[in-house]
């Protein structure tokens, strides 16, 4: 039996809360794969800019990225969504977008896209956005509306799936995966980046966004407990005041790094860290960096994030500790262990994972949802046509 596929003339229009060039993560891994055969248009959230409302357009990784530019007078007013709707309509018309998949990362985009008539609606729920700092109060209501429109829903992890599976009839857990070959560069042939070279050893590192999900008191306590350890922090600081970050001589904030650079930094770490806070914003996260660290061949120490415990800690691939003393102890054990058994076990597990596999499974589910939707549309047209052709029935008074 032939596996169904989406039509080749089907474009993809993604509505996202994330900047394409912010951090190379789940949206980039998935949508660049769609872009290998079809057009992808990535619509970012607007930015405030002087001048008339307009859409700036760039091309990255085979994807057309559009960023609405809105004047300050439109910030937070009802006219904002009407303007975004007009900009989007003009953009789609200019690029002759006909049949398309509407792919949502942010339910808030429904405020200016509800009028569209896509051939398939996908909600890739990679995070519980309503639990994040500065989340719009209307987020939950818009997500409920998006669930009614979506043909298929994907979740970024198992815990998030368990939270959403009762909200839709076609929900599937799609944990973020890993490009093993990319991060395996850390095992051989990497060059210590120039801004990391002066930092002493041992080095314990983290790469990713630094925001309200980070356990800053834990980070500070570990730095204080072991001043001989060097803690390297890679990534942008967002939604929190950089002044609130703990500052110690052995804490090094090296800023955002390109995806291509990450294996070279991780290669020269003794332990890879995931010091996440335990709060509402981390309740459903499934950190992509878990398999990335393992592919780099590094021991990993994390706080008790559910999607890290299952499956990684349960398989002995990650150490778990929440408080400073146990966290320090776990890092000490990680640095003193014989690495070969752990690396072998990690490699065996990682053989079951890849972004290509994840995307192939998602594609099959999308194609099945598309076929089902088209069948429903045909049936509705038949019913409507029959109703239109039926003789009128007169009811006597």
pLDDT in tens, 322-335: 999 999 999 999 99
Three-state secondary structure call for residue 193: coil
Mention the CATH class of domain 11-177+355-386: alpha beta
The CB density around residue 150, as the number of other CB atoms within 10 Å, is: 25
Name the residue among 269, 287, 301, 294 with its Cα closest to residue 182: 294
**178-215 in b/e burial notation, b at 16+ Cβ within 10 A?**
bbbebbbbbeeebeebeebeebeeebbbbbbbbbbbbb
pLDDT digits (tens, 9 = 90+) for 63-110: 999 999 999 998 877 899 999 999 999 999 999 999 999 999 999 999
Name the residue among 118, 59, 52 with its Cα closest to residue 86: 52
**What is the Cα–Cα distance from 328 to 221, expressed in whole angstroms?**
9
How high is the mean pLDDT of the chain? 94
pLDDT at 178: 97
Residue range(s) in the chain whose domain bears CATH number 3.40.50.2000: 11-177+355-386, 180-350
HSE at residue 139, side-chain half, CA atoms within 13 A, is: 15
pLDDT at 80: 94
Q: How confident is the model at residue 253 (pLDDT cuts 50, 70, 90)?
A: very high
pLDDT digits (tens, 9 = 90+) for 283-331: 999 999 999 999 999 999 999 999 999 999 999 999 999 999 999 999 9
Return the DSSP state at 391.
Answer: P
> What average pLDDT does the segment 23-27 reach?
95
> What predicted TM-score, i.e. pTM, was given to this entire model?
0.93
pLDDT at 388: 63
Give domain 180-350's CATH number out of 3.90.1170.30, 3.40.50.300, 3.40.50.2000, 3.40.50.920.
3.40.50.2000
Query: In which residue are the tokens 């405030």 written?
Result: 48
Name the residue among 16, 14, 84, 83 with its Cα closest to residue 44: 16
Length reported for the chain: 397
């Amino acid at each position: 039996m032939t596996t169904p596929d989406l039509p080749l003339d089907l474009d993809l229009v993604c509505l996202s809360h994330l900047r394409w060039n912010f951090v190379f993560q789940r949206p980039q891994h998935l949508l660049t794969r769609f872009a290998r055969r079809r057009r992808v248009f990535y619509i970012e959230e607007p930015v405030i800019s002087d001048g008339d409302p307009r859409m700036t357009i760039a091309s990255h990784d085979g994807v057309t990225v559009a960023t609405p530019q809105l004047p300050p007078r439109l910030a937070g007013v009802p006219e904002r969504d009407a303007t975004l709707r007009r900009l989007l309509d003009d953009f789609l018309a200019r690029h002759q977008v006909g049949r398309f998949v509407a792919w949502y990362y942010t339910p808030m985009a429904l405020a200016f896209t509800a009028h569209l008539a896509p051939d398939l609606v996908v909600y890739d729920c990679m995070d519980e956005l309503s639990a994040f700092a500065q989340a719009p109060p209307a987020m939950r209501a818009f997500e409920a509306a998006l669930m009614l429109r979506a043909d298929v829903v994907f979740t970024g992890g198992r815990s998030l799936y368990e939270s959403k599976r009762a909200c839709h009839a076609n929900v599937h857990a799609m944990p973020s995966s890993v490009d093993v070959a990319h991060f395996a560069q850390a095992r051989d042939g990497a060059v210590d980046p120039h801004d990391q070279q002066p930092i002493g050893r041992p080095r314990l590192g983290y790469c990713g966004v630094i925001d309200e999900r980070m356990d800053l008191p834990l980070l500070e306590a570990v730095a204080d407990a072991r001043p001989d350890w060097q803690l390297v922090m890679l990534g942008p600081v967002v939604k929190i005041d950089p002044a609130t970050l703990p500052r110690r001589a052995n804490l090094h904030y090296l800023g955002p790094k390109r995806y291509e650079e990450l294996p070279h930094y991780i290669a020269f770490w003794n332990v890879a860290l995931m010091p996440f806070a335990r709060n509402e914003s981390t309740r459903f996260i499934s950190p992509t960096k878990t398999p990335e660290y393992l592919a780099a061949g590094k021991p990993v120490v994390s706080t008790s994030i559910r999607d890290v415990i299952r499956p990684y800690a349960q398989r002995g691939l990650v150490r778990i500790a929440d408080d400073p003393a146990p966290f320090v102890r776990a890092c000490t054990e990680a640095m003193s262990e014989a690495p070969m058994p752990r690396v072998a076990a990690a490699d065996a597990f990682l053989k079951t994972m890849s972004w290509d596999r994840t995307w192939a499974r998602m594609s099959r589910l999308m194609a099945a949802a598309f076929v089902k939707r088209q069948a429903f549309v045909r049936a509705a047209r038949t019913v409507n046509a029959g109703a239109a052709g039926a003789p009128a029935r007169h009811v006597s008074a």
